[in-house]
Amino acid sequence: MGENIIELNHVRKEFVTAKHYPGFKGAVKGLFTKETVTKTAVDDISFAIREGEMVGYIGSNGAGKSTTIKMMSGILTPTSGTCVVNGLEPYIDRKKNAKNIGVVFGQRTQLWWDLPLGETYTVLKEIYEVSRRDFEERMAFFDDVLNLHEFMHSTVRTLSLGQRMRADLAAALLHNPKVLYLDEPTIGLDVVVKDRIRQAIREINQKYNTTVILTTHDLNDIEELCQRIIIIDAGKKIYDSTLNQLKQDYGNSCSIAFEWKQSPDALQTDMLQQLDGPFTLHRLENGIQICFSKKEYSVAEVIASVMGIAEVKDVQIKETELTDIVKKIYQGSEDRTI
Ligand X SMILES: Nc1ncnc2c1ncn2[C@@H]1O[C@H](COP(=O)(O)OP(=O)(O)OP(=O)(O)O)[C@@H](O)[C@H]1O
CB of 107 to ligand X, least distance (A): 8
Residue (107 or 273) nearer to ligand X, CB:
107
Tell me how far the alpha carbon of residue 228 is from its chain's centroid.
Answer: 10
68 vs 211, beta carbon nearer Mg ion: 68
d(CA 171, CA 98): 13
Name which of ligand X, Mg ion, none residue 67 binds, using a CB cut-off of 5 to 8 Å depending on partner kind: ligand X
Q: Which of 52, 54, 56, 57 is nearest to 11 (CA)?
A: 57
Closest distance of CB 234 from ligand X, Å: 9
Partner interacting with residue 59 (select from ligand X, Mg ion, none; CB below 5-8 Å by kind):
ligand X
Contact residues toward Mg ion (CB under 5 A) are 65-66
Alpha carbon distances (Å) from 193 to 121, 128, 163: 21, 28, 8
CB of 68 to Mg ion, least distance (A): 9
Closer by beta carbon to ligand X, 215 or else 320: 215
Residue 61 touches which of Mg ion, ligand X, none (CB < 5 to 8 A by kind)?
ligand X
Nearer of residues 215 and 253 to Mg ion, judged by Cβ: 215
Q: Are 31 and 54 in contact (CB under 8 A)?
A: no
Which residues form the interface with ligand X (CB under 6 A)?
15, 17, 39, 41, 59, 61-67
Contacts 24+ apart (CB under 8 A), 142-151: 142/169, 142/170, 142/173, 142/174, 142/200, 145/196, 145/199, 145/200, 145/203, 145/204, 146/170, 146/196, 146/197, 146/200, 147/196, 148/117, 151/117
CB of 215 to ligand X, least distance (A): 7
Q: How far is CA 75 from the centre of its chain?
A: 21
User: C-beta of 64: minimal distance to Mg ion in Å?
Assistant: 9
User: SS3 for 189?
Assistant: coil
> 117 or 232: whose CB is closer to ligand X?
232
Which does residue 112 bind out of ligand X, Mg ion, none, counting CB within 5 to 8 angstroms by kind?
none
